[in-house]
Amino acid sequence: MAPERSQESVTLTNGSLSSNGHYVEPLMKHPLPDIDRPVPPPTPITVHASGGGREVLEFVFPGDPHPYTYEVIEQSSRFLLERTKHRPRIGIICGSGLGGLAELLKDKDVFPYEEIPNFPASTVPGHAGRMVIGLLEDVPVICMQGRFHCYEGYALWKCAMPVRVMKLTGVTHIIVTNAAGGLNPAYNVGDIMLLKDHINMQGFAGDSPLKGRNDERFGPRFPAMNNSYDQRLRQLAKQVAKDIGIDQYIREGVYVMLGGPAYETVAELRLLRMLGVDAVGMSTVPEVMVARHCGMTVFAFSLITNECITDYDAQGEANHEEVIETANKRQNDLNLFVTRVVSSMASEMTSTSNGKNGSVDEN
């Protein structure tokens, strides 16, 4: 458990941090190391390093890009693996109103986020805030019942931190879901858009979940993001939708993540449409970027829960209640859809491991 935030006077002088006269060496220097001035007390994080069980105290200053270390992520994943007999290869992230899927898992182990070492807390209505590990149609999966957003005050790397935890539990394939506004005029509320690409708006401003020090144990310094969304899995999902009779609702398009929590203006939406955006949301992109950095195979879809307002004369307003209501109405279809997709993915993974044709490489 992290120690409580210090209330002592902390001063930075010529790059040295002192607390009540005692010198402290921070892991990362303050952005302005040559200025003598008081700074807010840093947030201490206790890191349990592997081997020997020693503890290293790291200090994080406000504004510092400081992803969790490999050892911290490993501690979280080990906590989960030691408390479940399942060894999932498929991870699922449930978006707003889509957490009911986790209730379908059999022989499951449930871990509230506040009990998992180093985990953030989910604060958004419609997000239960639990990690659930169990069997979905006899396939072991790990399911995030609620995610983290930058509008909650979290850095992008922290929003995506659970993906790395999944990676270290053995996950090689991930399904990312979200609720999104439909910007493409051909889309209707209740449609399911399979993501074929995304636009990383935060990246245009220099922010990224991969910002900061890179640990090669997770992935390369400069990962490629083209083909982030596996084409074979999209084809598989289309076939599943046809088999269960919901193919008329399936779309395929480009997703953009905006920071939120305010919904978009008419001018912003018109600009995004000019850029080729089909659906707008407030999540998913950081998780997908980290998943690809980790070498995971990604399938993602958006439930279109509202129509984006691009007319200045329109009277309606976007609201979160509409998002939850639409998700609840489509819950049964989505649960069946994801369940069948998971089963098909697992079959392909098994075929590939046996040396047959498939889109998945065993690690």
- Same domain, yes or no, for 51 and 75? no
Looking at per-residue pLDDT, the higher value among 295 and 122 belongs to: 295
Indicate the DSSP class of residue 210. Answer: T
- Same domain, yes or no, for 86 and 54? no
Q: Is residue 182 included in any domain, yes or no?
A: yes
The pLDDT value recorded for residue 124 is: 75
- Same domain, yes or no, for 75 and 175? yes
Q: Is residue 230 included in any domain, yes or no?
A: yes
Which structure tokens are listed for 284? 């998913």
The pLDDT value recorded for residue 67 is: 56
Q: Kindly report the backbone phi and psi dihedral angles of residue 186, in degrees, each rounded to the nearest multiple of 5, phi listed first.
A: -85, -10
Indicate the DSSP class of residue 38. Answer: E
Q: Is residue 28 included in any domain, yes or no?
A: yes
- Same domain, yes or no, for 273 and 140? yes
Give the number of domains in the chain: 2
Residues marked active site are found at: 96, 127, 149, 151-152, 179, 282-283, 306, 320
- Same domain, yes or no, for 169 and 304? yes
The pLDDT value recorded for residue 355 is: 67
Q: Is residue 348 included in any domain, yes or no?
A: yes
* Res. 52: pLDDT tops 70: no
* Res. 113: pLDDT tops 50: yes
Q: Which structural domain, as residue segments, surrounds residue 50? A: 10-60
- Same domain, yes or no, for 258 and 334? yes
* Res. 348: pLDDT tops 80: yes
The pLDDT value recorded for residue 126 is: 66
Enumerate residues 6+ apart whose C-beta is below 8 A from 203. none
DSSP 4-58: PPP-S-EEEETTEEEETTEEE--SS--SSTT--EE-PPPEEEEEE-TTTT-EEEE
The pLDDT value recorded for residue 121 is: 82
* Res. 27: pLDDT tops 50: no
- The proportion of the chain whose per-residue pLDDT surpasses 90, expressed as a percent, equals 67
The pLDDT value recorded for residue 181 is: 96
Which structure tokens are listed for 19? 């607390």
Average pLDDT over residues 335-343: 97
Last residue of a domain, which of 60, 86, 101? 60
* Res. 3: pLDDT tops 60: no
pLDDT in tens, 211-264: 998 999 999 999 999 999 999 999 999 999 999 999 999 999 999 999 999 999
- Same domain, yes or no, for 34 and 156? no
- Same domain, yes or no, for 206 and 294? yes
- The proportion of the chain whose per-residue pLDDT surpasses 70, expressed as a percent, equals 79
Looking at per-residue pLDDT, the higher value among 106 and 32 belongs to: 106
The pLDDT value recorded for residue 356 is: 53
Q: Is residue 5 included in any domain, yes or no?
A: no
Q: Kindly report the backbone phi and psi dihedral angles of residue 225, in degrees, each rounded to the nearest multiple of 5, phi listed first.
A: -115, 0
- Same domain, yes or no, for 110 and 186? yes
* Strand duo 192-200 + 297-307: pairing: antiparallel
Kindly report the CATH number assigned to the domain that includes residue 182: 3.40.50.1580
The pLDDT value recorded for residue 119 is: 92
Residue 175 pairs in a beta bridge with 92, 299
- Same domain, yes or no, for 183 and 314? yes
DSSP three-state, residue 123 = coil
Q: Is residue 359 included in any domain, yes or no?
A: no
Q: Is residue 204 included in any domain, yes or no?
A: yes
Last residue of a domain, which of 60, 83, 98? 60
- Same domain, yes or no, for 105 and 248? yes
d(CA 273, CA 276): 5
pLDDT band for 326, please (50, 70, 90 cuts): confident
What is the pLDDT of the chain when averaged over all its residues? 84
- Same domain, yes or no, for 22 and 162? no
Average pLDDT over residues 352-362: 56
pLDDT band for 352, please (50, 70, 90 cuts): confident
Which structure tokens are listed for 351? 């075929």
Average pLDDT over residues 54-75: 63
* Res. 34: pLDDT tops 90: no
Rg (CA), the chain: 22
* Res. 127: pLDDT tops 60: yes
The pLDDT value recorded for residue 66 is: 53
DSSP three-state, residue 240 = helix
Question: What letters, b where the CB count within 10 A reaches 16 and e where it falls short, cover 68-106?
Answer: bbbebbbbbbbbbbeebebebbbbbbbbbbbbbbbebbe
Entry pTM: 0.81
Q: Is residue 4 included in any domain, yes or no?
A: no
**Residue 1 carries which side chain, given as an amino acid letter?**
M
Looking at per-residue pLDDT, the higher value among 195 and 349 belongs to: 195
